[in-house]
């Protein structure tokens, strides 16, 4: 009971209450709020507001981390892609970041072009293919709890039978990191996402691509779709990959880019298209 002795009510003057917006604009408002602090006004170019039906409310006492809430917003079912794309300032003397978000109608940020990297040709522009697999997120049943910060407990469950239909034992996952969520539909979005991604092992494929060969650096970005062509594994000829034994063409999505001061190659990380 907030009115009991020794307890205080949340101060609405220091809370964040956003309503009547799209998810992407909510993310934008959070970033703008962070910029208002002394030293926080980093150079960011913002897109226009988009009205909608979404809302998010935080009390000041929750001390939310900006990076965490942006990630959580992207992870809900139907949540938007959020990315900061660097570009030169108009005077070419500095760098600024363009905040881009997916819309409620089309949450993915991706080019219309599917970029292709052939690994099955002589003198391929691709090298150092590495595959890492993570099975910790496998789940047939996803649970989530929320609402404790408002003295109201919400529980959500999502079920996906993909793995059990294949004969696997039932795997469950529990997410209790959303204490401030007050809407059942929002919590349901988190559990739906957990069982969607829980259908299969998360495989990340990383490789190096030559920056001065097509597709050129700058044409593609995080979120874009790509196609990788691999030859069948043949150690005698030094082609293919022992893990991806049979040659095939794979559709992937770029999740991370990296590089160094030399700029000879670009490190590209991808995951399967779900």
Q: Rg of the chain over CA atoms, in angstroms?
A: 22
Percentage of the chain beyond pLDDT 70 is 96
Q: Give the span between the Cα atoms of 250 and 117, in whole angstroms.
A: 10
Task: Note the pLDDT of residue 7.
Answer: 62
Structure confidence by residue, pLDDT tens digits, 219-243: 999 999 999 999 888 888 878 888 8
Task: Note the pLDDT of residue 150.
Answer: 57
Distance of CA 8 to the CA centre of its chain: 37
Task: Note the pLDDT of residue 246.
Answer: 84
CB 179 within 8 A of CB 147: yes
- Higher pLDDT: 268 or 62? It is 268
Task: Note the pLDDT of residue 96.
Answer: 97
Non-local CB neighbours of 245 within 8 Å, separated by 6+ positions: 232, 233
Q: Give the span between the Cα atoms of 168 and 150, in whole angstroms.
A: 38
Report the predicted TM-score, pTM, of the whole model to 2 decimal places. 0.80
Please check the confidence at residue 180 and state whether its pLDDT lies above 80.
no
Mean pLDDT, rounded, of the chain: 90
Please check the confidence at residue 274 and state whether its pLDDT lies above 80.
no
CB 135 within 8 A of CB 169: no
Q: Give the span between the Cα atoms of 102 and 54, in whole angstroms.
A: 14
Structure confidence by residue, pLDDT tens digits, 3-19: 555 566 777 888 899 99
Please check the confidence at residue 34 and state whether its pLDDT lies above 70.
yes
Structure confidence by residue, pLDDT tens digits, 200-225: 999 999 999 999 999 999 999 999 99
> What are the residue ranges spanned by the domains of the chain?
12-101, 115-134+201-272, 141-197
Decide which of 3.55.50, 3.40.50, 1.10.8, 3.40.1350 is the CATH code for 12-101. 3.55.50
């Amino acid at each position: 009971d907030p009115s009991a002795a020794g307890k205080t009510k949340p101060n609405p003057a220091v809370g964040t209450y956003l309503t009547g917006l799209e998810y992407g604009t909510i993310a934008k408002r959070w970033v703008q709020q962070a910029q208002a602090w002394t030293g926080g006004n980093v150079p960011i170019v913002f897109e226009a507001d988009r009205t909608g039906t979404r809302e998010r409310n935080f009390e000041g006492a929750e001390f939310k981390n900006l990076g965490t809430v942006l990630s959580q917003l992207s992870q809900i079912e139907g949540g938007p892609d959020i990315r900061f794309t660097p570009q030169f300032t108009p005077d070419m003397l500095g760098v600024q970041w363009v905040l881009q978000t997916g819309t409620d109608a089309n949450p993915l940020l991706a080019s219309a072009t599917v970029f292709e990297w052939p690994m099955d040709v002589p003198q391929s522009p691709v090298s150092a293919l590495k595959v890492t697999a993570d099975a910790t997120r496998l789940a047939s049943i996803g649970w989530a709890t929320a609402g404790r910060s408002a003295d109201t407990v919400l529980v959500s469950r999502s079920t996906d039978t993909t793995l059990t239909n294949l004969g696997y034992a039932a795997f469950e996952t529990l997410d209790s990191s959303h204490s401030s969520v007050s809407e059942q539909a929002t919590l349901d979005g988190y559990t739906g996402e957990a069982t969607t991604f829980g259908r299969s092992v998360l495989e990340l494929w990383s490789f190096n691509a030559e920056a001065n060969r097509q597709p050129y650096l700058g044409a593609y970005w995080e979120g874009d779709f790509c196609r990788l062509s691999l030859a069948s594994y043949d150690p005698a000829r030094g082609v293919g990959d022992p893990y991806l034994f049979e040659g095939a063409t794979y559709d992937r999505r770029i999740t991370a880019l990296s590089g160094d001061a030399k700029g000879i190659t670009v490190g590209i990380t991808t995951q399967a298209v779900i």
